[in-house]
Structure 1
Amino acid sequence: MPAVARISVGAAFMAVLTVLASSPTAHADVVPGGGGTGSETQVDGDQGGGTISASAGAVVFDRSKNGSGPKAGPVTSATTWTPPACYYAPKYTPEQLQKYLEPIWEAGSTGHEWDLSQRKRYVEGEPYEDFNKEKSGEGYWWDSYVTPGRIGDPGALDCDEPIFWVDNNDDPPADVPQAITPEMLAQLAYAEIRVPSTEVDLAPDGATKVNLPTWMWLDGADFKPVSVTASVPLLNIAATTTAEPVSVRIEPGTPDAETYPASGVCEITNGRIGEPYAKGKANRTPPCGVKYLRSSGDDAYKLQATVTWKIHWTGTGVAGDQLLPDGTFGGEQDVVVQEIQSVNR
């Protein structure tokens, strides 16, 4: 994994506080994850009269450039890929690990043999002594975190390594593949991406007619790249994941229809998909649209527009843009199709 930048504990706390004390418009949300033990490193900051607390190694999400609105939603990966369900990051100082573990041992809820093995590991020198208190300020105990929304997923149980120590000037052990990296941050940010509604503008607006081309386009003001940044201020690592719209697939909702283009896929051109209808274009073929060949009767066709978003990321210590699987987001809307009425004399 890329080497993480070295920062002092004091500087790390200041970095966390800098993020947390940002204006609410920055949408910087702390996500401690993990077991919610209540004994994580506490970082308190005053924001609008309130107090924010989080573990020292918390992932912070900046969603200020994300999609918004009541119909915005998450993209679905075009493959079976999903972000990691768990990961390792700093969680405890030596004193906090002691405060977390000793009540568990005293309660005896995990069994005598287990408690004995834990005491040997963290107190009696096999391999750590007295919770590594002699190294206070020189590193952190790392523990597992569960990705928000993934509790209960089978993959959330993959992070089953015992709590381990990492010095400030060292990388996590190479045999711990789930240790947090800029790439993993990019994947966590992927899960937080929200893109705007895919409801397309139509002309004619309202009911359309059989054999009359219907023009379709997406509002260029909403149809633009969005991004989310995920970071661990304590480690001074971050990654920004960006989603850019590239095309929309039109599915008319009935086989009795023709799409423009014939593939049904409208590519993005000059920052927009499709072309708004205007007076004088009635005899032109729309660059993006549909022609219905049969009336919808007393009902409506369910037209579906699915946008494909190209996903890429940049991060600490990583050169250039890196790709993640494309994502899609779609929506349905009703289209009423009527027969053209003629008058016979």
Structure 2
Amino acid sequence: MPEVKRRVLGGIALAVALVTVGTPSAWAKVTPDGTTESDTPPTESSGSVNGDTLASSASGVIVFDRSKNGSGRSAGGVTSTSSWTPPPCYYAPKYTPEQLQKSLEPIWESESTGYQWDAQQRDRYVNGHPYKDFNKDKAGEGYWWDAYVPESQIGAPGSLDCTKPIFWVDDGAPPPADIPQAITPEILAQLAYAEIRVPSTTIELAPQAATKVNLPTWAWLDAAKFKPVSVTASVPLLGIDATTTAEPVSLKIEPGTGDAVTYPASGECQINGDGSIGEPYAKGKADETPPCGVKYLRSSGEGSYKLRATVTWRIHWTGTGVQGEQPLPDGTFGAEQDVVVQEVQAVNR
């Protein structure tokens, strides 16, 4: 039990997001200067080795590229359309031999976990059962792996499941087969999923300031503002990466009142070939039915209706050692906007 408590707290304190490959052939040999011996060009990153230090960024050995992600105050994370959640915990490189020694010896010296437990730990990592002197003779040939808990998953179901003692993995070798939570490209893609941010779903309406009772209101989203976004997560230390991409596929309109009709009747507007959704209103279309929109049947009085626009995003990923796009659960992101409906039966425009 003390080991579980210590390692869970350690994972929380160093919460990160990373991933690895699913087959031994996908593992790259990482040399002490951080370069890789593989067919993939080396990626510059903070996940490298400098002397006896396993250098890492603030988020651990993972590196996120968010340059193609959604941005701005109105951008937000998607909500999975299923019960899917990011991995609650996983294993990845955390220490060089020297770093593990510096991490454990102060704990033993303080006797905070008890003499018996400390003796067992010394036996495991120092006395050769199974490791000797923190594997210092293998420095530069591998890393000590430990558990991580993503910050968003602290306290979530499963976040305390990674209770394996710290273990050693040689460079270029896969982690032990009996550790299902060891980082993989799929886990990396799932962690990148949690980093996806999509643009606001505030839709364009015509009429804009206020619409009228029984008057079809056109709704649309501009393709220039509404395009795929992606996040790439990599572990240069291991020579692996995964890119998770979200693409808009449809817009769901909820008028905010039962006294309304949507276009189409389902309220689900599909994406057009150019990436836009709906169609902007243009002069001369007053008598036409909008391909995407709403018609209110009752005035909003002195207030307004809360129209909710929710976009569904198809999410998929590609990564090291994986052929083609791999699916992830769809995500949604929505927002409300006020719509004033005036009591006018007919209008010329």
Q: TM-score, normalised by structure 2?
A: 0.86
Number of the residue aligned with 2:23: 2
Bigger relative contact order (CA 8 A; separation at least 6):
2
Q: From 258, 273, 278, give the equivalent of 2:277.
A: 273
Residues 300 and 337 in structure 1, CA contact (< 8 A), matched pair in contact too: yes
Number of the residue aligned with 1:328: 332
Residues 42 and 54 in structure 1, CA contact (< 8 A), matched pair in contact too: no
After TM superposition, give the deviation of residue 141 of structure 1 in Å: 0.3
Aligned residues: 316
Structure 1 residues 218, 158: CA separation in 2 closer, same or farther (over 3 Å shift)? same
1:17-41, CA deviations, whole angstroms, 9 ceiling, x for partnerless residues? 8235xxxxxxxxx8xxxxxxxxx94
Q: Separation in 2 of the partners of 1:312 and 1:17?
A: 23
After TM superposition, give the deviation of residue 213 of structure 1 in Å: 0.2
Number of the residue aligned with 1:34: none
Q: Separation in 1 of the partners of 2:77 and 2:111?
A: 43
After TM superposition, give the deviation of residue 87 of structure 1 in Å: 1.1
Q: From 55, 58, 78, give the equivalent of 1:43.
A: 55
1:18 aligns with 2:44: yes
1:314 aligns with 2:318: yes
Residues 30 and 172 in structure 2, CA contact (< 8 A), matched pair in contact too: no
1:290 aligns with 2:294: yes
1:292-340, CA deviations, whole angstroms, 9 ceiling, x for partnerless residues? 0000001100000000000000000000000000000000000000011
Q: From 149, 153, 174, give the equivalent of 1:171.
A: 174
Q: Separation in 1 of the partners of 2:154 and 2:188?
A: 18
Residues 306 and 330 in structure 1, CA contact (< 8 A), matched pair in contact too: yes
Number of the residue aligned with 2:15: none
Number of the residue aligned with 2:305: 301
Residues 88 and 158 in structure 2, CA contact (< 8 A), matched pair in contact too: yes
What is the DSSP-based 3-state SS (H/G/I as helix, E as strand, rest coil) of the residue aligned with 1:149? helix
1:72-104, CA deviations, whole angstroms, 9 ceiling, x for partnerless residues? 000000001101021111111111101100000
Residues 63 and 234 in structure 2, CA contact (< 8 A), matched pair in contact too: yes
What is the DSSP-based 3-state SS (H/G/I as helix, E as strand, rest coil) of the residue aligned with 2:261? strand
Q: Identity of aligned pairs, percent?
A: 69
Number of the residue aligned with 1:200: 203
Number of the residue aligned with 1:33: none
Q: Separation in 2 of the partners of 1:291 and 1:266?
A: 15
Structure 1 residues 193, 342: CA separation in 2 closer, same or farther (over 3 Å shift)? closer
1:179-206, CA deviations, whole angstroms, 9 ceiling, x for partnerless residues? 1111100000000000000000000011
Taking the TM superposition and a 5 Å limit, the aligned residue runs for 1:208-219 are 208-219=211-222
Q: Separation in 2 of the partners of 1:92 and 1:112?
A: 24
Q: CA RMSD in A?
A: 2.0
Letter in 2 for 1:43: A
Q: Separation in 2 of the partners of 1:244 and 1:71?
A: 17
Q: Separation in 2 of the partners of 1:293 and 1:41?
A: 68
Q: Separation in 2 of the partners of 1:69 and 1:280?
A: 35
Unaligned runs of 5+ in 1: 21-29, 31-39, 45-51
What is the DSSP-based 3-state SS (H/G/I as helix, E as strand, rest coil) of the residue aligned with 1:280? coil
Q: Separation in 1 of the partners of 2:191 and 2:246?
A: 14
Letter in 1 for 2:44: T
1:41-97, CA deviations, whole angstroms, 9 ceiling, x for partnerless residues? 4438xxxxxxx6775xx1111000000111000000000110102111111111110
Residues 239 and 313 in structure 1, CA contact (< 8 A), matched pair in contact too: yes
Greater alpha carbon shift after TM alignment, 196-205 vs 110-119: 110-119
Letter in 2 for 1:2: T
After TM superposition, give the deviation of residue 112 of structure 1 in Å: 1.3
Residues 53 and 98 in structure 2, CA contact (< 8 A), matched pair in contact too: no
Number of the residue aligned with 2:139: 136
Q: Separation in 2 of the partners of 1:108 and 1:76?
A: 45
Unaligned runs of 5+ in 2: 1-21
1:213-271, CA deviations, whole angstroms, 9 ceiling, x for partnerless residues? 00000121111000000010000010000000000110000000000000100000111
Number of the residue aligned with 1:126: 129
After TM superposition, give the deviation of residue 155 of structure 1 in Å: 2.2
